[in-house]
Structure 1
């Protein structure tokens, strides 16, 4: 069984992960916004039925290719992806913390939550 001090250390690590994830994603998004004001979107606009749509990157390969090309929307999408990834990383760290505590029930529950998150992300990626 873990002591109160070990539990506190895990909570501090989880807090740092969340803080670093949010700050990093905010910085990346702000860089993307700065690129947008300097260079524009970098993607073609499509007009359908009088409504203008921007064909922004949706797949990881498109995002990374757009970043390499200096396209602002790709950088912003990377920031959004990092923001989404932050709580997922927190779930992974929680699994490890529960494992160290030898709390099998919470390891199983948190692993199921991680599987559901990964499945939802995969299904969203496919559509």
Structure 2
């Protein structure tokens, strides 16, 4: 990866080299959730338990473009925001698929927690 001071272009923004995930070191395990445009899996990256969000690229050129732009915005935001009450961003890669890697928080979904706490 070089000196760590490199900047890589990812979509319409630049990403510091320290946030680039090497997909060869990424192990994707069982699915733990899914939404309209992505699935989230448990996994491992460099012997660390992580959550892997794999974004569906879409089928039409317009859909692909919209999802790549959304991916770019999400990665840009996650790489800049760090707080003890937010999931820790580990990195991302765009090829061979769009992937966002964060720390893995055990204990179920936020929805499940909120329902058990407030209903």
TM-score of the superposition, structure 2-length normalised?
A: 0.27
Structure with greater contact order relative to length (CA < 8 Å, sep ≥ 6) = 1
The structure where strand makes up a greater share of residues is 2
The structure number with the bigger radius of gyration is 1
The structure where helix makes up a greater share of residues is 1
